[in-house]
Amino acid sequence: MATANKKDTMLRVDNLVKHFPIYRGLFQKQVGAVRAVDDISFDIKRGETLGLVGESGCGKSTTGRAILQLYRPTSGKVDFDGVDLVHLKGEELRRTRRKMQMIFQDPYASLNPRMTVGAIIGEPLIVHNLASGKEVEDRVKQLLELVKLNPAFSSRYPHEFSGGQRQRIGVARALSLQPSFIVCDEPISALDVSIQAQVVNLLEELQEQFNLTYLFIAHDLSMVRHISTRVAVMYLGVMVELADRAGLYESPLHPYTKALLSAVPIPDPIAESSRKRMILEGDVPSPANPPSGCRFRTRCPIAEKLCAESRPEFREVTPGHFVACHLVK
């Protein structure tokens, strides 16, 4: 696929594959694999937010973790600022990880209940030998102020905070090493609707202040539209469409993208009553045994014989708009 200018591109993912082996029997023989991410390619430009959307289980979170090498890819290339992360090990990978961080989905599970907030936020600084003693305390207080929490809270424990406050603590921890790239793995899906907008606005403010680059993983299409520069759509381990925000929401090309967008409510009763809903039939196939050819063909309303015979190429249809569908011209 065509990519951006090298100077503008922070991250380039080429043919990324992550399969999880399935073992059975007394001798734990491998009998198959869950194809969580199956040959995807895209890039993220410096300072932008790439939204990654799709149904639960389509491989969004696995993609984010494979980029950060929390899951080692089965194959493929992850080029971050000119360095292929897939081949980095030990101290080299540890040093590079300072530039990349992650905000986790569950603010209740991602914070150690036995550590104070100060210890949680300050831990990365100590692990990477960036500060010690009073420096850590001062930096923790700065970070808490940055995410709009009282610096006096540093001596409290996670159970004393609400979900939204915990997620702010997670954001502060991600910022502690001054990264340039952050994977936001559904950071608002576990929060109340009233708190979601606050956290998204905070992420936008921090992006502007520190020139951060985000991979924003979500299944809430309206929130992705609000925060993203470009949007990528995944289905069953593969990428089916990638375009800038306006192009994807106003002129979706892939039948799956059209179905997803038709489920998003419009705050206009007249437009809502006149538009046609596209209801998908059947269940999502198992990633351990995906359909031949196009992964979406078993649920696609316009599928033809060709769709079962060969996998569609992920190609550029109009400038900057990529789609994987045999029937899109």
pLDDT score for 273: 65
Number of CB atoms found within 10 A of residue 315's CB: 13
Topology (CATH) of 9-98+235-323: Rossmann fold (3.40.50)
Cα 261 from Cα 282, distance rounded (Å): 18
Grouping H, G, I as helix, E, B as strand and the rest as coil, residue 87 is helix
pLDDT of residue 106: 87
Measured between alpha carbons, how far is 77 from 7 in angstroms, rounded to an integer?
18
- From first CA to last CA, the distance across the chain in angstroms is 17
Q: What is the pTM of this model?
A: 0.89
DSSP string computed for 123-163? HHHHHTTS--THHHHHHHHHHHHHTT--GGGGGS-GGGS-H
Please tell me the total number of residues recorded for the chain in this structure.
Answer: 329
Residue with tokens 């600084």: 125
Task: Show the beta-strand stretches assigned E in the chain.
Answer: 9-24, 29-45, 49-53, 75-80, 83-84, 100-103, 181-185, 213-218, 230-235, 238-244, 315-318, 321-323
In the chain, where the domains are located:
9-98+235-323
- pLDDT tens per residue across all 329 residues of the chain: 444 455 689 999 999 999 999 999 888 898 889 999 999 999 999 999 999 998 888 899 999 999 999 999 999 999 998 899 998 888 888 888 889 999 998 888 889 999 999 999 999 999 888 888 888 899 999 999 999 999 999 999 999 999 899 999 999 999 999 999 999 999 888 788 888 889 999 999 999 999 999 999 998 888 898 899 999 999 999 999 999 999 999 899 999 999 888 877 667 676 666 667 777 777 888 899 999 999 999 998 888 899 999 999 999 999 999 999 998 88
239, 232 in Cβ contact below 8 A? yes
Q: Are 107 and 191 in contact (CB under 8 A)?
A: yes
Do residues 53 and 219 touch, judged by C-beta distance below 8 A? yes
DSSP 71: S
Provide the pairing of β-strand 75-80 with 83-84.
antiparallel
